[in-house]
Amino acid sequence: MTPTRLIRRAACAFALGALFVAAPPLHAQPKPANFIVIYCDDLGYGDLASYGHPSIRTPELDRMAAEGIRFTDFYSGAEVCTPSRAALLTGRYALRSGMAGGRRVLFPNSPGGLPASELTLAEALRDRGYATAHIGKWHLGIHEGSRPQDQGFDYAYGLPYSNDMDGRDGLPGGAAKSPNPPADGWNVPLIRNGEVIEQPADQTTLTRRYTEESLRFIRESRAAGKPFFLYLAHTMPHVPLFASPEQKGRSPRGVYGDTVEEIDTSTGRILAALREAGLAGDTLVVFTSDNGPWLTQGLQGGSAGLLREGKGSTWEGGMRVPALAWMPGRIAPAVVRQPASVLDLFPTALALAGATAPAGLSFDGRDLGPVLFEGRTRSEYPFFYYRGTRIFACRLGKWKAHFRTQGGYGDPQPAVHETPLLFNLEVDPSETTDVATNHPDIVAKIVAATKAHEATVVPVPLQL
């Protein structure tokens, strides 16, 4: 065993937030790879054809899945939008950056945002010479210090928050969940590099415009000879649902399907552009969602498939999401059933860039490289299901313990479980059968891991 391997093994054995190791990773390559994250809003676990949906047609994503890795057990960083995005961009649970609790997400009148002091993936990669772009929904703050251009993005184009915020005066309650929402119902601005370029944003063409902006950014980065990081955060399929005139009415699944199928088309265009530019083998593309489906939106919300509950809850349906990873020639086609999460993406991208984390910064996620590029199984480590500032559940290997349970929306109080509920997620993915009494050792191990994790959380000012 080489010294490098020894160090890596020691790091893997470390039970909590992994320190990024300074030695070059096994899959290091001389040329920094490009990285694209395609992030959907409220797309559910069951909403792609390759995850079993019968009437949403996603041929491009199905092809991406067939050519790459389809994850069955991939998690968002939180149960709702803002903390989930903070976790993605920092590689750490949102509570560590203060982006949790309070009103659950940022609103247009919220004073807080992602602190400027936080290191984002965009900043880390820009420091390594990457061109960086955020295209799409932001939702990490609108004030100086928190905006995309303050957080490492050379280029920013999109909405500052959710598309159902900033409703116009007199908008009827429930308008957002209509299958035909009013085009002028929300006053949300479209912003380019800090300047409002359209208000209200024409939401019907957002997915297409995000796509075109993304393609231009890829082209220009290539022309400049720079590696790039693209964070494409779609506004859809979050209500109110809008599709382009070309797409509207085409999906058998109705307007919800229209928006997902338009994202499918968008993804196909991006992968095709990478292939045509000869960049496919140098670009890791990850497709996923910020949380589960918003079930209270009725037919305008998605499906968690066989999973329990949806967005807002820490049952599996709230946080287990579709996830695909694609890098032809580097990633061999596979279905991966190991747990992984959006928290892993920061360390993964750093390793792909040939970079190391700054001294003193510890991630909650871990490099996915061994899984993606070497077909290896990572050693197990705990994943925490936060709801606001509290840990509601923890997954360790195939086991999940719930300390608290609560419906995503409309359930006023959590049920607190003095003896945690325990589910074997492999045998029981729908979380029907509590087996805690049969496995007190597992429960104790998870409780201990959770306490150890909590001890690492340094209090910071809460932003929400």
Mapped onto helix, strand or coil, the DSSP state of residue 264 is helix
Instruction: Return d(Cα 306, Cα 302) in angstroms, integer.
Output: 12
Nearer to a second copy, 209 or 320 (CB): 320
Q: How far is the CB of 316 from a second copy (least distance, A)?
A: 9
Spatial contact of 41 and 237, defined as CB atoms under 8 Å apart: yes
Residue among 357, 382, 316, 325 nearest 75 (CA): 316
Instruction: Return d(Cα 230, Cα 410) in angstroms, integer.
Output: 36
List alpha helices for 387-439, DSSP H: none
Can you give the binding site for a second copy, defined by CB under 8 A? 46, 49-55, 57, 66, 72-73, 252-254, 257, 298-299, 303-306, 335, 337, 398, 424-430, 432-433
Instruction: Return d(Cα 162, Cα 84) in angstroms, integer.
Output: 13
In the DSSP assignment, the letter for residue 439 is: -
Query: C-alpha angle with apex 408: 315 to 396, nearest 5 degrees?
Result: 20
Mapped onto helix, strand or coil, the DSSP state of residue 279 is coil
Nearer to a second copy, 1 or 427 (CB): 427
* Lookup: tokens for 431: 């979380």
Instruction: Return d(Cα 354, Cα 350) in angstroms, integer.
Output: 6
The residue type found at 455 is A
- Through-space distance between the first and last CA atoms of the chain, rounded to whole angstroms: 47
Q: What share of the chain is helix, strand, coil (3-state, %, to 5)?
A: 30, 20, 50
Nearer to a second copy, 26 or 436 (CB): 436
Residue 439 is a catalytic residue = no
Q: How far is the CB of 50 from a second copy (least distance, A)?
A: 8
Nearer to a second copy, 53 or 208 (CB): 53
Residue 139 is a catalytic residue = yes
Nearer to a second copy, 48 or 191 (CB): 48
Residue among 263, 314, 266, 335 nearest 43 (CA): 263
CB neighbours of 161 closer than 8 A, spacing ≥ 6?
A: 106, 107, 108, 137, 138, 139, 142, 188
Q: How far is the CB of 223 from a second copy (least distance, A)?
A: 37
Strands 69-75 and 334-336: parallel
Q: How far is the CB of 11 from a second copy (least distance, A)?
A: 26
In the DSSP assignment, the letter for residue 105 is: S
Spatial contact of 336 and 315, defined as CB atoms under 8 Å apart: no
Catalytic residue among 40, 53, 134, 139: 139
Catalytic residue among 40, 53, 81, 453: 81
* Catalytically active residues, by annotation: 81, 139
